[in-house]
Amino acid sequence: MEVIIQPNKETAAHLVARIVAHDLRASPHLVLGLATGKTMECVYRHLVCMRADKGLDFSLCETFNLDEYVGLFPNDPNSYRHYMNHHLFRHVNIDMRNTHLPNGMAADLDAECRAYEALIKRCGGIDLQLLGIGKAGHIGFNEPGSALQSRTRVKALTPTTLKQNAPMFGGEEHMPRRAVTMGVGTIIEARRCILLATGRSKAEVLAQAVEGPITSMVTASALQLHPRCTVVVDEEAATMLKEKEYYRWIFENEPEWEFYR
């Protein structure tokens, strides 16, 4: 795991967007794994600007989102399909047929999960997976206790997650109780993972994920097993990391990061 500490959430998101842009230019057929949540909105804003100002080309790439709520239609303002259309897809030259999210309205959700896994495989696997981290330590909706080898499936949302996301729904009572999510095993098969965490509220859980033991109780900690995982954080989210100076030294001295310093 490499940890990059940036001064604030804007610079952290910009760095993530630059990595995506770099990979997309190098491989126009990139298979991109996408995440939702407030943290990612900044990244998508930067990518939309790069499309407008620098002609960043999305026309050949394929995208797979991590998760979707069960029971929401795609046009529901709280669905992740709606989020993606609103924050990214509608503003760039992506072919909508190449954008994939699990269908949380499928009559047979187990079949939907199997089909999603099969589609990822058919596209050659995910090249670059973007990730946020929930206050429950989750990636996707892999709530505490999720098997580290889990695949795409339906998960019940924990009280921490319900509380975190309830404001978007105008209260917990209006929130779906379950979601379809890529499994931890699905996520860590991506060739490269980038986790972005910003803000003081993520500091504790981020330190557990990065410097704590690998445990299904904090599913983001499974990223420690990944051969190519970069964690990008702002100063606030980095507050509880013990090895901050070491991470800074690596970022300053590692030739791979020269272009991003």
- Which residue ranges make up the site for ligand GLP (CB under 6 A)? 35-39, 66-67, 132-134, 140-141, 161, 165
Q: Nearer Cβ to ligand GLP, position 48 or 196?
A: 196
And the tokens for 164? 């975190």
87: left (phi over 0), alpha (psi -120 to 50) or beta: alpha
Strands 31-34 and 128-131: parallel
Which residues contact residue 193 at a Cβ distance below 8 angstroms, ignoring those fewer than 6 apart?
Answer: 128, 129, 131, 187, 223, 226, 228, 229, 230
CB of 254: closest distance to ligand GLP in angstroms? 26
Q: Nearer Cβ to ligand GLP, position 70 or 133?
A: 133
What is d(CA 121, CA 233) in angstroms, rounded to the nearest whole number? 30
CB of 214: closest distance to ligand GLP in angstroms? 18
Q: Nearer Cβ to ligand GLP, position 66 or 241?
A: 66
- CB–CB of 52/173 below 8 Å? no
- CB–CB of 14/259 below 8 Å? no
CB of 143: closest distance to ligand GLP in angstroms? 9
And the tokens for 237? 């989210």
Q: Nearer Cβ to ligand GLP, position 163 or 248?
A: 163
CB of 244: closest distance to ligand GLP in angstroms? 21
What is d(CA 255, CA 234) in angstroms, rounded to the nearest whole number? 21
Q: Nearer Cβ to ligand GLP, position 98 or 219?
A: 219
CB of 70: closest distance to ligand GLP in angstroms? 13
CB of 197: closest distance to ligand GLP in angstroms? 8
Burial of 106 (0-12, 13-18, 19+ CB in 10 A): middle
Q: Nearer Cβ to ligand GLP, position 100 or 248?
A: 100
Q: Nearer Cβ to ligand GLP, position 36 or 98?
A: 36
Q: Which amino acid is at 177?
A: R
Instruction: Give the C-alpha distances (Å, rounded to integers) separating 87 from 37, 61, 234.
Output: 11, 17, 22
CB of 195: closest distance to ligand GLP in angstroms? 9
For tokens 């407030």, name the residue. Answer: 38
